[in-house]
Chains A and B, each alone.
Chain A
Amino acid sequence: MAEYCRSIIGCLLSVGVILLVVGCAESSSTGNATVQGTVTVDGSLAPRGTVTFFPKKDGPVAIGQIYSDGSYALRIGLGNTKNPDAAKIPAGEYVATVMVMGDSVEGERVSEDGPPLAGPRLVARKYTSRETSGLEFSVKPGRNVFVLELESAAFDPPEISTEEEDGSGSDTADKEKGNNEESNAVISREFTDGKQVGNSAQKQTEKGTSGGQVGTSPELPADAEEAGTP
């Protein structure tokens, strides 16, 4: 920087250029902090998925794609399109949700010649809802690195069918019940209780549900396994 400042004009000019460049690069950024990190599931790097940070107070929701090496960087909206890793979000208190998907099942597609179906959920279900994720972060101005060491779906507690009774009979819950009966009881409740759950996490949940991919953990009781078949 100093070598540009041989004269006042030169200095002003270079500051101007910097402002111009920085201004262009971050035109859609709204914050003062960068958040990056790594997601692991039972110690292995997550292969793909999404990290979502919900502000505890008012503010925009920050999301980040999980890359194949388990890393992610948060952004708001389109973020910094020139340098996605440098996108900024407002500092503050956040609650995170995480969805990690495995490889899509070979041969299963949305329709003939359509894109492949999303792979099964790999993380425990609790991480997909901000009521249950327990992932709270204090984002400081400047650079933040948050490692998310998560448990796999094998840690999902066995599902309890009594939850179904207090499903309050809303449309959503009924539909879900019709789909998958008891194995979906917990998710259905999430649906009805968790309307305020933001776009991304909810969408993931929805996808999982309609694809019949909801938490078939190894510990599932036998009757829940049959529930998926009509």
Chain B
Amino acid sequence: MKKYPFANSLLVLGATLFVLSGCGGIYDASVSGVVTLDGTPLPRGTVSFNPETPGPSSYGQIDSSGRYTVMTGREQGLPPGNYVLTVVANEPPTEPGKNGGPPPAGKPITPRWYRSLSSSGLKYTVEKGSNQIDLELTTDPPNGWQNPARRGRR
């Protein structure tokens, strides 16, 4: 260190410029929370935040304790605004695919209605600053829910 007396100040300057240049914390809001299904934290899965105004969706990966933090692309956070959320969680595939092909998808953990924008019923407003959004999902279907036909091209 003594050999380069300016190294420290250069580092500080570099870090400052890095922040100023907009490489970190570019979104005005952040969201984290816990996802439970009938009171039990989900062990895995995906929460997606779909803006009501045009724009890319943001996503949170649910960790083994049910927590998620929303990212937009590679950056933490998202723009403030109104969002419709969907939640998808599947068991890990249990059997290998045939001929080394993709394994059949694991059993779904979350009910189907949480997977679609039109039926999830999860509408939230994300405020500027940090937001805590805990999602308490249930296996009771919403009123008027009808299981659609199995999807896929047949």
Contact = CB atoms under 8 A, between A and B. Distances in A.
Interface residues of B, number: 41
A37 B73 contact: yes
Interface in B77-100: 86, 88-90, 93, 96-100
Interface range on chain A (Cβ under 8 Å from partner): 35 or more
Contacts of A40: 46, 48, 59
A122 B102 contact: yes
Contact of B100 (A72, A149, A212): A212
A147 interface: yes
Given A40-B48, A152-B105, A216-B102, A145 B72 contact: yes
B102 A73 contact: no
Interface stretch (B16-24, B35-43, B121-129, B131-139): B16-24
A217 B101 CA distance: 7
A211 B100 CA distance: 8
Interface of B: 13-14, 17-18, 20-21, 23, 26, 45-46, 48, 55-59, 61, 71-75, 86, 88-90, 93, 96-105, 115, 152-154
Given A85-B23, A102-B102, A225-B99, 18 more contacts: A21-B14, A38-B71, A43-B88, A67-B74, A68-B61, A69-B71, A70-B46, A72-B74, A83-B23, A102-B93, A105-B100, A120-B102, A120-B103, A121-B101, A211-B100, A213-B99, A213-B100, A217-B102
28 contacts: A17-B13, A36-B75, A37-B73, A38-B59, A38-B73, A40-B46, A42-B88, A44-B45, A44-B46, A44-B88, A70-B46, A71-B73, A72-B73, A85-B74, A86-B23, A120-B97, A143-B26, A145-B55, A147-B56, A212-B99, A213-B99, A213-B101, A215-B101, A215-B102, A216-B99, A216-B100, A216-B102, A225-B98
